[in-house]
Every structure is written in C-alpha cells, then in structure tokens.
Structure 1
C-alpha cells in the first residue's frame, strides 16, 4: 500500500527546485541550492540553515539543543531540507532530531521523507537512503514520487542495476511494477544518458513482470534524441501493436514529434512516421493529418503544405478550420495561389 504524495505549494522565495531535477547528465556535476539563494526565508529556517553546514553529524544534537528554537513546524523542516543538499548527513540528522523533538513521534510529512531520500541519493549515500526507504515502508509512506527520486539517484550512478530496482526492490516494498513506474524509471535513465539501458528495461519489464509500455514510454525515448524517430515509432508499433484501440498512442506520439527539437533537426522524420501510419492503415488519419498541418503551419509552412498535398492525394479530408488557418498563413506571405491549387485538387477528389 502506498499513499500519493501531495506536492507542496510555493513557499515564496524559499522555494528552490530540487537538485535531482537540476542534475546535469554528468552525474559528477551537481548544483545545490543554499539559503543564500532564498533571502526571504523565515527566521527559524535561516538559523537552522546556518547551524548545519559547519558541524559534524555527531554534533547536530548538541547544536540544535543549544539553539533552543521552539515551535518548529513541518514547513520549517521542509524548507531546511530543501536547502541542505550540500550537507546530507547533517540534514538527515536534523530530520530525525527535529521530528523527535518538535513533531512528536517523528510525525514528518511524506514530502519531508522524500526530501531526505533525495538528499541521500543525490549524494550517493545509498545505504542510508535504503534505510530511510525501509522506515517509510514501515509507516506506509512510500509512493511513486519516492521511487522517482530513487531511480534518478541510481541512474546517475552507472554501477547501479536499474532492473533490480524496478523488479526486485519495487516488489520487496509492495509497490506496483506498472506502466507509470516503468515510465518514471525510463525518465531517470534518459536523463542520465543511459538510453541503451532504458530500451533494455522496456524489453525485460515486459518479459519478466508483464509491464507494458505506452505512448509516454516512447515519447521519453524520443526526447533522448539519439534514435531516429521512425525507429522509435517502429518499436512502438511492434510493442503495442497496430490495433485501432492504440490510435491515441500514435496521435500523441506525432504531437510529441512535431513539437520536439528532433523534428526541427530532421524534418523528414515526421513525414516518415505519418507515412508509416498511412501504410499500416492506422486510423484516425483525418484527425492526425489535420493536427500535423495545424501544428506545422506557423513555423514550417512548406512542410504543412506537403502534408496537405499528401492528404489530398490519399483522399483524407482537410477540416474547414485547418483550411482556413492554412489559407490565412499563405495569404500573409502572398502565396494564396498555392492554397488555391491545393483546394482545386481536394475538390477534384
């Protein structure tokens, strides 16, 4: 059993993006936020942030006792943790002591627990990270958010087995090895530039535990920008099939492709995927075709016209709204005659 982790609202200047999210693809390059970047922090939070950096783990207890700060809240603790990534052991000690002294029975929020997981994992203190996961498990606090952080930390360490984390550790902690979890793992691997591992995970997860990828899985691979889009699309068709029930997946994939940098760099890629859909008879071609023309008309008008011509040749209807948008774009650059030619071809069909 797991509980969904509610995201914390903005804490004004105290809100700093998680270092896990800011981590560079080079795992040795880490950017840690500090209280110096959040000048409007509450006074209690500032005091804690100043206490933790210069002291050893064993001295945290005495330092906090000496500070004698009263009325510490869950929000204070979360703020301190978000700004303590550079001091992981002191942060973990602060977390446990603050929970014991100020919250009663270590009644921390799930968000605070996840921050500790992220702090320890980001700094590759994996033994203590897993001990904290054990503690969360015993309190029924584990969630997919927890493992998203775990996956990111493990993926940034090339020696760690991601398949074990997905299939063994998730089951050990009574977590589902489902498609959202698979996609979380794929995202972590792709951020760490481990595309080969990501592709292997898809195959093994399906074979070993029956976890099926979805369109998001392949959109994640596409955004890694190392595989030709048509190759990724072929893998998607192979894995999830050409059944009409999967049409939303193809539609969403094309949307991702059109809006991605990949389609800017490889303008033929989107047409290749479109051709693959047409050749395999994957409906609804009308919706997909109109979507592509609509998305391409502003920045890549010649490409949009090529799609329209292909749709006309195949007898695929162009919607009135798409016709109107295309006509306006062509008239703006005094190319209305191109639209007239396309319209005549369409009417002839």
Structure 2
C-alpha cells in the first residue's frame, strides 16, 4: 500500500480474494470462525458465532477478515458481531472497507467509512484502499471524486495521497492516460515529487507509450532534477525507449545519465540487452555494452553469451572476438556455448583459416565443437582447400568418441570424392562402415561415381565397399 507507514503486518492483504483454506499456522479458533463465515447461511452467522463461545480478540478479527474476502455478507455480520464485544481497531476497520470495496459493495463501504469518521479512525490508508478498489472496478472518475472529498474527511490531500491515486490508476491496464489527466489537473496545486514521476513513467513503460514517457521525464528533470535515488524513474524511461525500438534515444539518455552519475544498475543493462537481442539490434547492443563496461559494471557469463549470440547472428565477428578476449577481465569464462557460437559464425562466413585456428583454440581450452559444427566445419574446410584440417576434425571426433558422427562422416567422404583421393576414400569409408556410421545413399552414389571414373579396377574397389555397406545396413 503506497501510503501505509506502519509495519507490514498492518497492511491490507494484497490478494483480491484470499481464503483460509491451506493457510499455514492459523489459530484453531480463527479456523472455526472462518468456517462459520464461509459456510453458514447469512441469517445464521451471528447465532453460530455466539454459540462458538469464542471471544473475538483483535488479532482473531483481523485474521478472519483477511480470509473472508469470498464471503462479504457473512464477513459484515461477523464484523458487526465482533464489534458488540469490543471496539474495532483502525486496522480491522480498514480491512472491512477493503473487503467491501474488493467485492464492489461501494455503498456499504462508504457506510463503514462514515462510521470510522464518527469514531475518529480514518487515515489515508483507508482511502488508498478506496482508490485501488474503484480503479480495479474501472470506476476511475469515482476514484478521483474520492480524492476530491478527502479534506471533508479530515485527510490532507497531499502528495502522498496524489501518488497513491496515481499508482492505483497506473496499475490497471491502459489507464495511464487517465492518471496523466488527473496529474495535469492537480500538479498546479500540489507539488509533485520524484515518486510521482516514477509512478507515471512506470505506467508509460507498461503501456509502451514512448511519447508520453519522454514528455514526463523532461518535466521530471526540470522539477526535481537528477539524483541516483530516482533510479526507478530512469529505468522506466529507458525500458520504454528500448522496448519501443528507440535505441538511439535510449543510448543518448544513457550517455546523459552517465554524465550525471545516474546510470542504472546491471539489471537494466541485462534486460535491455535481451530486448536488443530479440530486436536483432546489434548496433545499439554494442553501444549499450560499451557504456556498461566503461562505467565499471561487470557483466556475467549469461550476458556475454547473449551479446555474442547477437553479434555472431549479425556476422559481426570482430566485436564477437573482442568480447571473447575481454571476458576474462570481467571474471566471466567462456563456455561451450560461447565458443560454438563464434565457431559457427566463422563456418557460416567461410573463414577457412580462422575455422582451423579457432578449432585448435577450442580443444586446447577443452571445449569441443558440437556435432553439427563439426559437420559444417568439415564441409567448409574441404570446400576451402584445407582437407588436412577437415580430416583432423574427423580424427578428433573419432578419438574422443563424439557422437553423432554420421553427418561429419558423410561430409568427409564427399570431400574426398571431390578431391579424387580414392585411397583415403576407401580407407575412411571402410572404417566408417565398421564403426556403424550411417552413410547416406546420396553419399554412396558420389563414392561410386568417384571410383567408376577411374576405370574397371576401381569399380571392383567400390563394389567391395558397397557390399560391405549394404550388409551393414541390413544388420542395422
């Protein structure tokens, strides 16, 4: 509750319809009272309560009300019965007001408020509940009218009250415009504070209203200035800009905030990075990254992998390598995913020399390529005139029993076919068949063509391989 100043046990329960069922450590007498309220016909509630011979202690009353939101009529009977024994506390009254409001029983709610007024028990907490429940019900004009009559109930309509109403409005979907309308009317009478703007900016963020967010933030800077304490507001503005595909604006604001010593924390940067990744916006992601690390924030391994994934999918291999080299300085050590993303990018872009070099670095650091990357690398290396490195990949897979190896094995045979290296082709094919590698028909057709081109003697070699392959297929 925005205006609640007492300890948490005095706050109105956040759930709209709490229930006692399954509640932990509920007092046995409270459970009995809750059962009566929940199950007794309304006209029998007071009689059953009296028959229980349980004294309605203040704590009991509060607990029963908290667990009786689904039974408003019976809860009202219970409240009246308990009030005959002893005067209710302000907290119990506030619970009753909230319970009635949550159930849209607004006339009885106001009757309760009048009773509280007569007993001098009203506080802003009471009206915060009214604001919230009118807004939940979509009755925003009634919420504003409630604010307008606060003074008549002895409650000062100060900035805490303003913020409570704005917060209630902005929590509901697509109602920030209503909150801004109220704000425009009231700001000349009651001076807004940083919380006011944070609430409005968070509402703009929720609705993705970039234009209103920028206007509201501009006014905030003029009225309350800059402070690291206003970080919630800054986060809300930046998130709105990033989600609204306003990367340029977000970066500009970040640079200004850095100059004011008001940069957001690592959580914002992590979220923004995820959004840029979804938008496939590598240019702004790398700008964001450089501002972050340049300000002394330390990204973790997950953040490194997010941006390296984005950079490699955008074929920005230079920045991907730069971030890989910088990881150790941030205490984040690359893992299999990190290496394989970069390795995959090198393969995709046909960087033959770099593929071989990076493969050696990977295995040196004990991170193996994925089977898919092995197969793709072997193909690229054969196509790029580095068959020896392709064969090194295959030998490494075999030696370290990396599986599945079927795609890689077929890639090796096709590469050897294209080069006409029949001696190696025969040796590798026979060994693969022995190792139960699945060789595709299309691959065996290429193998056949490669041997048959060399004349009759080579036909016999292929036929031997073919019989062995067909026998292996039958056994499988």
Distance 1:237 1:263 in 2: 14
Verify the 8 A CA contact 1:5 1:111 in the aligned structure 2. Answer: no
Equivalent in the alignment of 1:65: 50
Shift of 1:158: 3.2
Greater RCO, 1 or 2 (C-alpha within 8 Å, sep 6+) = 1
Q: Contact (CA 8 Å) 1:85, 1:119: kept in 2 or not?
A: yes
> Would you say 1:129 and 2:109 are equivalent positions?
yes
2:269 to 296, 307, 313: 296
TM-score, normalized by length of structure 1? Answer: 0.70
Partner-residue secondary structure (3-state), 1:85: coil
Contact 1:77 1:112 in 2 (8 A): yes
Measure the CA separation in 2 of the matches of 1:264 and 1:22.
32
The counterpart of 2:33, out of the listed 26, 44, 48, is 48
1:41-190 counterparts in 2 under 5 A? Answer: 41-70=26-55, 72-101=56-85, 104=86, 106=87, 108-159=88-139, 160-166=141-147, 168-190=148-170
**Given the superposition, is the C-alpha separation of residues 297 and 116 from structure 1 closer, same or farther in structure 2, using an over 3 Å criterion?**
closer
CA distance in 2, matches of 1:57, 1:95: 13
Count of aligned pairs: 301
The question of whether the paired residues in 2 share the 8 Å contact of 1:218 and 1:236 is answered with: no
Match among 255, 261, 282 for residue 287 of structure 1 = 261
In structure 2, C-alpha distance between the alignment counterparts of 1:200 and 1:186, rounded to whole Å: 10
What is the distance in 2 between the residues matched to 1:4 and 1:326? Answer: 37
Please state how far the C-alpha of 1:81 moved relative to its aligned partner: 0.5
**Counterpart Cα distance in 2 of 1:244 and 1:55:** 55
Structure 2: distance between partners of 1:128 and 1:198: 27
In the alignment, is residue 204 of structure 1 matched against residue 185 of structure 2? Answer: yes
TM superposition shift of 1:36: 2.0
The 8 Å contact of residues 242 and 250 in structure 2, kept in 1 or not, is answered as: no
More helix by share: 2
Q: CA deviation at 1:91?
A: 0.8
**Aligned pairs (5 A) from 1:232-311:** 232-238=213-219, 240-242=220-222, 245-248=225-228, 251-257=231-237, 262=240, 265-268=243-246, 271-275=248-252, 285-289=259-263, 291=264, 295-296=268-269, 300=273, 303=284, 305-307=286-288
CA distance in 2, matches of 1:77, 1:248: 43
* Residue in structure 2 matched with residue 35 of structure 1 by the alignment: 20
Q: Which runs of 5+ in 1 are unaligned?
A: 11-16, 24-31, 342-349
1:8 aligns with 2:9: yes
CA distance in 2, matches of 1:318, 1:286: 15
- Deviation by residue 1:252-299 (Cα, 9 ceiling, x = unmatched): 4222345x5x56643535x52452586xxx66625235x367842587
Q: Deviations over 1:25-74 (max 9, x none)?
A: xxxxxxx232223264221112111212344555433222222224x322
Distance 1:284 1:40, change over 3 A: closer
Paired residues of 2:266 and 2:299 also in contact (CA < 8 A): no
Shift of 1:80: 0.8
Structure 2: segments with no counterpart, 5+ residues: 275-281, 309-318, 327-476
